[in-house]
Amino acid sequence: MSQAPTRQRLDKWLWHARFFKTRSLAAKQVAGGKVRVNGTRAEKPAQPVGPGDVLTFVQARVVRVIGIEAIGERRGPAPEAQQLYRDLSPPQDNAPQNPGFEGKGRPTKKDRRLLDLSRRSED
């Protein structure tokens, strides 16, 4: 009976945990120096990682800080992938993108004029 591995390639773990759609994308991020393992920049996609390691990387303009909990044996469904890590990222500020619009339908002509005037005064 084979024993579960205690370490795994960084690019493979990122792919198993579903942070990247393909293993090639994960390897490209690591090779580009955009992933840190325990605060140190990862140089190679083949760098071994295991439980207890902390990964830091940017995903969709959001800095992710991830603590590795387990090593994946396969790239399974999302709920299975979420068992592999714990999210240590700081809470994000969920400020509205357009503070002048409260989501009450399409803005009126008067609202659009006021918005245009406020944008011109910022220039």
What are the sequence ranges of the domains in the chain? 8-87
User: Long-range contacts made by residues 19-27, C-beta under 8 angstroms, separation at least 24?
Assistant: 19/57, 19/59, 19/64, 19/66
Position 36 scores a pLDDT of 96
Position 103 scores a pLDDT of 64
Instruction: Give the pLDDT band of residue 115 (cuts 50, 70, 90).
Output: confident
- Label each residue of the chain as H, E or C: CCCCCCCEEHHHHHHHCCCCCCHHHHHHHHHCCCEEECCEECCCCCCEECCCCEEEEEECCEEEEEEECCCCCCCCCHHHHHHHEEECCCCCCCCCCCCCCCCCCCCCHHHHHHHHHHHHHHC
Going by CATH, does the domain composed of 8-87 fall within 3.30.750.24? no
Instruction: Give the pLDDT band of residue 105 (cuts 50, 70, 90).
Output: confident
Tell me the pLDDT tens digit for each residue of 44-83: 999 999 999 999 999 888 899 999 999 989 999 999 999 9
Q: Does pLDDT of 102 surpass 70?
A: no
Tell me the pLDDT tens digit for each residue of 24-45: 999 999 999 999 999 999 999 9
Q: Does pLDDT of 101 surpass 60?
A: no
pTM for the whole structure: 0.72
CA separation for the pair 70, 53 (Å, rounded)? 10
Find residue 37's DSSP bridge partners.
40, 55
Burial label, 23 (beta-carbon count in 10 A; 0-12, 13-18, 19+)? middle
